[in-house]
Chains A and B, each alone.
Chain A
Amino acid sequence: EADIYQTPRYLVIGTGKKITLECSQTMGHDKMYWYQQDPGMELHLIHYSYGVNSTEKGDLSSESTVSRIRTEHFPLTLESARPSHTSQYLCASRGGIDVATNEKLFFGSGTQLSVL
Chain B
Amino acid sequence: SQQGEEDPQALSIQEGENATMNCSYKTSINNLQWYRQNSGRGLVHLILIRSNEREKHSGRLRVTLDTSKKSSSLLITASRAADTASYFCATDALWSGGGADGLTFGKGTHLIIQP
Residues in A lying within 8 Å of B, measured CB to CB: 2, 6, 31, 33, 35, 40-43, 45, 48, 50, 56-59, 88, 90, 92, 103-110, 112
Contacts and interface: CB of A to CB of B under 8 A. Distances in A.
B48 to A, nearest CB: 6
Interface in B31-67: 31, 33, 35, 40-45, 48
Interface residues of B, number: 28
Contacts of B102: 31, 33, 45, 48, 58
Contacts of A107: 42-44
Interface of B: 1-2, 4, 30-31, 33, 35, 40-45, 48, 86, 88, 90, 92, 100-108, 110
Given A56-B101, A92-B42, 17 more contacts: A2-B42, A40-B107, A40-B110, A42-B2, A42-B4, A42-B108, A45-B102, A50-B101, A56-B100, A57-B100, A58-B102, A103-B33, A103-B48, A103-B92, A104-B33, A105-B103, A107-B44
Contact of A59 (B33, B100, B108): B100
B113 to A, nearest CB: 18
Contacts of A31: 101-102
Given A59-B1, A103-B31, A90 B105 contact: no
